[in-house]
Structure 1
Amino acid sequence: MKEAYQKILYLPRPRSNRYPMAVERRAKQFAPFAALKGFESKIQEKEVIYRGRKILPDDKREELDRIYRALREGMAIAVEYFSANPYWPDEGQYKTTEGKVQSITEAFIQVNDRDIKLSDISNIVFTDKKLD
């Protein structure tokens, strides 16, 4: 077996006639890339846990209605509300925002430049924090 490779066994290593690639350029060819654009964001969307909307008992709805009628612009509150998933409106997340009431209408309240539907609110708490 050794005789078959005797001619090439001790030859010097072949050298390329091209110039060697710069280290910076060589590193770029091994850098990670996104084979599928938007794939990471879609995966992150799927990682979010969504829940169904809570059905509030009558006494809780009456309490929220009473609190809503007492609200005035400029009051500091914390609001827990349902934020629906754009793909499945029956599922979503419960979020809490804290801030000043900016405006009040029959169907919405605006807190921190966010319009929140009254039907999405699950809790309102008055806060004593001074918000400027």
Structure 2
Amino acid sequence: MSYEDIIHEHRPSPIRKRMTRSERAKIFMPFAALKGYEEATAAREDVLTERIELSEERQSYLNDQLTQLEKGMPIRITYFQPETYNHGHYVKKQGKVTKIDTYGQLLVINQKEIRFADLYDLNILTSL
């Protein structure tokens, strides 16, 4: 068979309607295989902050507040949660004091242990 048999033939008309360029481009567009994955990873990409060095006045205030604490007292604290040595997040927590370990320098609120050195702010509340 040679091409001379078909060279002068007309091209057959397509059975389906031809796609526009924009419709054809949609076929090759990327898609999200895992729905919500982008949002979940974006939420994890937090910006770390540097630990704030406390002044002597702030340290004295925190020491005074710590000496007034008793088990079962409602408090609101802000503390540093380290991710690396000197970078992390400042977290606010409110709850009742579960344990005060002066020897181990730990404060426990709702089963969360917080080191005294990580405290930034401490307020004793009248009630929760």
TM over 0.5: yes
Number of equivalent positions: 105
Q: Which runs of 5+ in 1 are unaligned?
A: 15-29
Distance 1:13 1:77, change over 3 A: same
Tell me, yes or no, if structure 1 residue 91 matches structure 2 residue 94.
Answer: no
1:32 equivalent in structure 2: 32
- Of 83, 101, 105, the match for 2:101: 105
Please report how far the alpha carbon of residue 9 of structure 1 lies from its aligned counterpart in structure 2 after TM superposition: 1.9
1:116 equivalent in structure 2: 114
Q: Identity of aligned pairs, percent? A: 20
In the TM superposition, structure 1's runs of 4+ consecutive aligned residues that sit over 2 Å from their partners are: 3-6, 38-45
Counterparts of 1:109 and 1:5 in 2: how far apart (Å)?
89
Distance 1:4 1:75, change over 3 A: farther
Letter in 1 for 2:123: V
Counterparts of 1:69 and 1:4 in 2: how far apart (Å)?
101
Please report how far the alpha carbon of residue 128 of structure 1 lies from its aligned counterpart in structure 2 after TM superposition: 1.9
2:12 equivalent in structure 1: 9
Distance 1:4 1:128, change over 3 A: farther
Counterparts of 2:85 and 2:41 in 1: how far apart (Å)?
18
Distance 1:91 1:5, change over 3 A: farther
Distance 1:92 1:5, change over 3 A: farther
Counterparts of 1:113 and 1:50 in 2: how far apart (Å)?
25
Question: Helix, strand or coil: the match of 1:48?
Answer: coil
TM-score (norm: length of structure 1): 0.67
Q: Compute the RMSD of aligned alpha carbons.
A: 2.7
Q: Which runs of 5+ in 2 are unaligned?
A: 1-6, 17-29
